[in-house]
Amino acid sequence: MSSLGALVQNENMKIFRRLRTWIMVLLLLGALGLMTGLIKWNDIHTDQTNWRQQVEQSLQNNKAYLAKMPDDALPEERKEIEDAIKTKEYALEHDINPNEQTLWDIVGASTFMILLVTMLTVIVAADMVAAEFTWGTVKLLLVRPASRGKILLSKYISTLMFALFLLVLTFAASVLFGGLAEGFGSVSYPALYVGADGAVHEQSMIISVLQKYGLNAVQLIMYVTFAFMISAAFRSSAMAIAFSLFFMLVGNTLVMIFRQYEWVKYVLFANIDLSPYLTGGTPIRPEMTLQFSVMMLIAYFAVFHIVSWLLFTKRDVAA
């Protein structure tokens, strides 16, 4: 029997020997570099000498906007303004300039790039199984002594390893770019956030950033697992990639459209973002809890793998 380690190594070679992979890496690094440049440009053209006056003016604007907000406004929008008011009041009281740019602002902003990481990994995941049929190499793969289940597992592990590689690359590159742009002397600068208790807290920037990366990693794993299932369902790489990206991009929008219906809480995309539970935010449905969303994610994770295994192990590969 072929060892799982050897199969994983073979799948990793397939990923990293393709020109497409390194184009993805360069695209990610380029996006991070552009983001850093824009943040630095904005910092250079922002007057920080009167930061207290600027924060006070912004605070008054937030309060005026909150007072005029209609009663039927989204709870998320209302809470966002309320948290901004609390954070600015805390910053003024404790003489903390919330507008001061540091290395960690660049690293924190890099969490938005995890969406790009997810899209790139979804492309690889959606291509992992379907490509074998597209290229006609599936028969050569299945003549090995390894079982179909082990082959499928090796492909999934390799996909997760690629996702981890992009995540680590994103974090490391953002630290490097942030240090070059803002200096490495602001490592101990605190992060302000409104907790589930409604109070403002100070937190280490590194912990704050790693928490954001961790929450985004949950979404990344679920999207990748979903794309992997789609890959097992199609014989065409293009179709698998197209369907995976389509559901990834429109899923959250559809959930927001149908959020008034109770059944929407059972949809994957309504549970995939766990951050509201940890930051005092509002979930899609008020009756939803962290335990409920975690159980739903576990259930979907299991279903995706069962469907992938059934589709791949039972599929006829005859010409």
**Is 299 a domain residue?**
yes
**Is 130 a domain residue?**
yes
Confidence of residue 1 (pLDDT cuts 50, 70, 90): very low
Whether 54 and 99 have beta carbons less than 8 Å apart is answered as: yes
pLDDT in tens, 25-80: 999 999 999 999 988 888 776 666 677 888 888 889 988 888 888 877 777 778 88
pTM for the model stands at: 0.81
Range of the domain at 160: 4-46+99-314
Distances (CA, A) of 164 to 157, 221, 225: 10, 10, 14
State the Cα–Cα distance between residues 63 and 84, nearest whole angstrom. Answer: 10
**Is 52 a domain residue?**
no
Whether 122 and 227 have beta carbons less than 8 Å apart is answered as: yes
| Contacts (Cβ under 8 Å, ≥6 apart) of 204 | 188, 190, 191
Structure tokens belonging to residue 79: 């809470």
**Is 8 a domain residue?**
yes
Crossing angle of helices 4-16/148-182, nearest 10°?
Answer: 50
pLDDT in tens, 71-125: 777 777 788 888 888 888 888 888 887 777 778 888 888 888 988 998 899 888 8
Going 89 to 94 to 100 to 105, the CA torsion angle's sign is: negative
**Is 87 a domain residue?**
no
**Is 67 a domain residue?**
no
pLDDT in tens, 265-318: 999 999 998 888 877 677 888 889 999 999 999 999 999 999 988 888 776 655
**Is 81 a domain residue?**
no
**Is 76 a domain residue?**
no
Q: Provide the number of structural domains found in the chain.
A: 1
The predicted structure's pLDDT at residue 295? 96
